[in-house]
Amino acid sequence: MRTPARVLGLALSFVVMFVAGTGAALADQPVGPAWPDGEGRSTLDTLLVFGGGTVVLFIVISLFGLLTARNNYVPPPPSTELATTGDKAPVHH
């Protein structure tokens, strides 16, 4: 499967889901004078739902990043002493 086909498939699935979701939302909306208007949300409620949810999500992602972060291994600096191999030195040919 090539890249244009993948992009086209993604775009097509987005459009299909968007149309299906819109149709479902329109079907659930009551119409006519027989349906009384319900109580609306206050401004504070709206700010808490959208703003508070965003802040909580940001905090959760930050905590997850901090908890999963690891310290990279830093090797000790090289020493100036020469290591001797003794009798186990390889034979040079």
pTM for this predicted structure: 0.36
| Cα–Cα distance for residue pair 1/44, rounded to 1 Å | 49
pLDDT in tens, 52-69: 888 999 999 999 988 888
pLDDT in tens, 38-50: 678 888 888 888 8
Which two structure tokens, joined as six digits, stand for 79? 């020493």
| Cα–Cα distance for residue pair 71/79, rounded to 1 Å | 23
| Cα–Cα distance for residue pair 17/15, rounded to 1 Å | 6
